[in-house]
Amino acid sequence: MHNQDQKLIFEVSTPGRVGYSLPEMDVPELDVNGLLPEGYLREEEPLLPEVSELDIMRHYTALSRRNHGVDSGFYPLGSCTMKYNPKINENVARYNGFAHIHPLQDESSVQGALGLLYDLQQHLIEITGMDEVTLQPAAGAHGEWTGLMMIRAYHEANGDLKRTKVIVPDSAHGTNPASATVAGLETITVKSNESGLVDLDDLRRVVGDDTAALMLTNPNTLGLFEEHIVEIAEIVHEAGGKVYYDGANLNAVLSKARPGDMGFDVVHLNLHKTFTGPHGGGGPGSGPVGVKEDLIPYLPKPVITKRGDEYVLDYDRPQSIGRVKPYYGNFGINVRAYTYIRSMGPDGLKAVTEYAVLNANYMMRRLAEHYDLPFDRHCKHEFVLSGRRQKKLGVRTLDIAKRLLDFGYHPPTIYFPLNVEECIMIEPTETESKETLDGFIDIMIQIAKEAEENPEIVQEAPYTTIVGRLDETTAARKPILRYQKA
Amino acid sequence: MKHRYLPMTEQDKNAMLEAIGVSSVDELFNDIPEKVRFKGDYNIKPAKSETALMKELFQMAGKNADLRTNVSFLGAGVYDHYMPVIVDHVISRSEFYTAYTPYQPEISQGELQAIFEFQTMICELTGMDVANSSMYDGGTALAEAAMLSAGHTKRKTILVSGAVHPESREVLKTYAKGQYLEVIEVPVKDGITDVAALKGLINDDIAAVVVQYPNFFGRIEPLKELEEIIHEHKSLFVVSSNPLSLGILTPPGKFGADIVVGDAQPFGIPTAFGGPHCGYFAVTTKLMRKVPGRLVGQTTDDQGRRGFVLTLQAREQHIRRDKATSNICSNQALNALAASVAMTALGKKGVREIAAANLQKAHYAKSALKAAGFEVAYDGYTFNEFVVKLNKPVKEINQQLLQKGIIGGYDLGRDYPELANHMLLAVTEQRTKEEIDTLVKELGDLHA
């Protein structure tokens, strides 16, 4: 161990210490040997730590200080919508009547929870312009797969068995093609044109009677609105396919354009992005899916609905694709999203998008002199720069990202989308102030100057972090995936 | 508009518009075709102040019968366990919960190390070599285990025990449809997987056999016997397991399981109406490079300092795209952290003690019900759940119990028509002797 290493909890462990207080053992204790079949009583103790409560708190406090969150500082990670996570959401989700209810209780004893979910569905239906919403999927990718399974079921029910192809733009999120594969469908890529938008001629070339669906993010991952969305939807619909909306970028169009009005048949949302469920260090998320009327029969079951004054779970769905998750989705995240929507109201949600887009355009314009701007037009909530000018000076986008760490910023998304060289994808969100944006812009400009004048500074960054660049090659070649006692 | 989450002032806005070179924010949306432009406001409820909204939602929450106010004997995959108070304090540190996936390891060492520790603890409890950073939940983890098995063995049929959680089996069937796999259920006999029936169903075309341990009825499946039958046909042995029970049960890894999955909800994660919980996924070294989801590995920086990174990413969707075998991206990281803290608090001794308390208290409840004249169905070795036969519909009994502040057990007739009037009771370490005695008395009164 290096003397600067943060100890693992196992390395803090000392036999004899405890960190728990279990309920009293107030029933007669029998010999456990008699309570389990022979050979099924565990012999070896698991190597779990033995620590006091203060040891635990110090350990995790130390770990938290080695982590950057939105509350620590600016986090312009493109496509991830790292906006402020309101604290009221956290309090509400912890109310006893939400946090401590069981999914298999009688429906009559959870009317408050079902009522909240039903109302959240109604709000999301209005926000997306769809006809029905399921809250069951646990995350965006899970929602994508759910939506594609429904599209597949729809085509199959129509006897349209050769519709097995899903068209995705070359700028799509990696989950799109992966979800298609897991749904038993094949992926075809449609090219982007020089403006960064779907190439309509190429789309016309690839659609056909084998098209199950086109998956599209709008605005796309370059932050650009697909101006020809009406035509795109028409081309796919005329060919008999469905149009799928990847809602990762919904923050760009709240109150400005609804997927349902743009011609989309299915939409998934990432409630942990647009609707402030916190990202949690990589989850839990929530990925509701909205559909147009003709796909309603295929929704995963149960469907939360209302009969008279009562909220019910409807299991009688003969054409349903089935369950995609035990119980009813990531309820706790749905509670947070609902709280957020109710905190914002219609005016607030409109302002969210307006400020998100204003912030992104402001940053884009101010940085355009210093970095290459591959698509020179108004962006939506995010934009991409290319580091190819800096690359010629020997400074890669990765280096720029690492240099940003020295100034306390989380870097933007890098090397994505794949169709932009040395891509830097910046999403400021609406919850950041002008001062924060200006501070970041100034540092980006400084780094661009460093790349010209003193590239080594950038190439060798970061300098101020608790560890430097880590050896990822060895990590993958000789994987150490767990602690083992020396 | 003024809102506490939106810092922009009119002055800022004007300066920014000028820098962009437009005269209004609306101009920035000119690329949205007129035809699809949304005009006006969403027809949704108006914004509420912090105070008013909290009041409304508090009342809404109050309409639910919660497990803090009532005494719960409901389990069936989701349990009311000891939640060390410290868990919520740790996961409330916003450096954890407001971060995203640790793509930048230099400023994400806290999250990465916490996941590395989680992976280690899951390996220790399950007796497996490698565990990933988490899955959505136990049900989807089980389905992904079946997918992995089909890919690995290049076989197309999955056998799943009828004593696996009904909702997990449903999820498995949905996933299987996606991959054109066939799922066949192995019948249950006396509350455990029918070994003779399994022998009749298994052959060299079976990718995996999936069982649950303890199973849905609380019974201990004969993993040793099952393993021999399964591996004889080179099928993969998939065990779905409540990790808390493994504090006292011999871990599936010891019995030769190839994949162990389940939900870490029993460790410090609230029931939360079924989610978010925390799926886990553990395998033998042989299957390491086929694991879905994220893995954290240990490495060093240029000065030899230990650090942690996301690793073996060549398996994942953002690299492999349509060649990926799983599409999982976001997982349940914060809940994995919660489970880690709970496992840490319990530690080596506590995890045994809590599991033993479940065993003892459930056994006490079972004996007390038998003494009161109830028939325990599928009687035999159980962990913290067992089945009791009633003479009335379970729904009816539960409605009566709730009036006494008791949340009764699961109605098995919902999934198993032959088990109408059978209730699956869960008795965790949380239940006191007095609460158990009250349940026995109330059930007795309702039964009379």
Q: State pLDDT tens for residues A187-228.
A: 999 999 999 999 999 999 999 999 999 999 999 999 999 999
Cα–Cα dist A147/A141, whole Å: 10
pLDDT category at A262 given cuts 50, 70, 90 is very high
pLDDT category at A462 given cuts 50, 70, 90 is very high
pLDDT category at B322 given cuts 50, 70, 90 is confident
The nearest CA of chain A is from the CA of B182 a distance in Å of 14
Mean pLDDT score of chain A: 97
The nearest CA of chain A is from the CA of B382 a distance in Å of 7
* Nearest-CB residue to A433 (from B7, B64, B354): B7
Q: Euclidean distance between the first and final Cα of chain A, in Å?
A: 11
Residue B436 has pLDDT above 80, yes or no: yes
Query: Is B274 within 8 Å of A103 when comparing Cβ atoms?
Result: yes
Query: Would you tell me the crossing angle of helices A331-367 and B50-62 to the nearest 10 degrees?
Result: 150
Residue B316 is predicted with a pLDDT of 80
Is the backbone of residue B421 left (phi > 0), alpha (psi -120 to 50) or beta? left
Residue A418 is predicted with a pLDDT of 87
| Both structure tokens of B186 | 């192995």
Phi, psi of B308, deg, nearest 5: -130, 145
Query: Is A345 within 8 Å of B94 when comparing Cβ atoms?
Result: no
Beta strands in B251-409 (DSSP E): 259-263, 279-283, 295-300, 306-311, 375-377, 385-389, 406-407
Cα–Cα dist B76/B236, whole Å: 25
Q: State pLDDT tens for residues B398-413.
A: 999 999 999 999 999 9
Interface test with A, best of B329, B351, B404 (most A CBs within 10 A): B329
pLDDT category at B317 given cuts 50, 70, 90 is confident
Residue A443 is predicted with a pLDDT of 98
Q: State pLDDT tens for residues B242-295.
A: 999 999 999 999 999 999 999 999 999 999 999 999 999 999 999 999 999 999
Q: Euclidean distance between the first and final Cα of chain B, in Å?
A: 65
* Nearest-CB residue to A280 (from B3, B123, B333): B333
Q: Is A328 exposed, middle or buried (0-12, 13-18, 19+ CB in 10 A)?
A: buried
Please check whether residue B165 is in contact with residue B210, taking contact to mean a CB–CB distance below 8 angstroms: no
Q: What is the mean pLDDT of residues A438-448?
A: 98
CATH 3.90.1150.10 fits A353-472, yes or no: yes
- Chain A partners within 8 Å of B288 (Cβ): 479, 481
pLDDT category at B323 given cuts 50, 70, 90 is confident
| Both structure tokens of B289 | 């490079």
How many interchain CB pairs under 8 A, A with B? Answer: 703
pLDDT category at B238 given cuts 50, 70, 90 is very high
- Chain A partners within 8 Å of B54 (Cβ): 88, 91-92
List, as one string, the DSSP characters of A73-93.
S---BTTS------HHHHHHH
Residue B158 is predicted with a pLDDT of 98
List, as one string, the DSSP characters of A192-227.
B-TTSSB-HHHHHHH-STTEEEEEEESS-TTS---T
A470 touching B (Cβ < 8 Å): yes
Q: What is the mean pLDDT of residues A121-147?
A: 98
Residue B256 is predicted with a pLDDT of 98
- Chain B partners within 8 Å of A22 (Cβ): 82, 350, 353-354, 357, 429
Residue A3 is predicted with a pLDDT of 78
CA distances from A207 to A110, A196, A217 (A): 46, 20, 18
The nearest CA of chain B is from the CA of A339 a distance in Å of 8
Among 3.30.56.10, 3.40.640.10, 3.40.50.2300, 2.60.260.20, what is the CATH number of A88-343?
Answer: 3.40.640.10
Residue B448 has pLDDT above 80, yes or no: no
DSSP state of A324: S
Taking the CB of residue B310, how many other CB atoms lie within 10 A of it? 22
**Domain locations along chain A:** 9-65, 88-343, 353-472
Domains of chain B: 71-82+349-447 (3.90.1150.10), 102-342 (3.40.640.10)
Neighbouring residues of A456: CB distance < 8 A, sequence distance ≥ 6: none
Mean pLDDT score of chain B: 97
Residue A25 is predicted with a pLDDT of 97
DSSP state of B249: B
Neighbouring residues of A238: CB distance < 8 A, sequence distance ≥ 6: none
**A91: nearest CA partner in chain B:** B54
**Residues above pLDDT 90, as percent of chain A:** 97
Please check whether residue B122 is in contact with residue B61, taking contact to mean a CB–CB distance below 8 angstroms: no
Task: Go through chain B and tell me how many residues it has.
Answer: 448
Please check whether residue B307 is in contact with residue B109, taking contact to mean a CB–CB distance below 8 angstroms: yes
A281 touching B (Cβ < 8 Å): yes
Residue A1 has pLDDT above 80, yes or no: no
Please check whether residue B8 is in contact with residue A433, taking contact to mean a CB–CB distance below 8 angstroms: yes
Q: What is the mean pLDDT of residues A63-68?
A: 98
- Chain B partners within 8 Å of A167 (Cβ): none
**B28: nearest CA partner in chain A:** A378
Residue B56 has pLDDT above 80, yes or no: yes
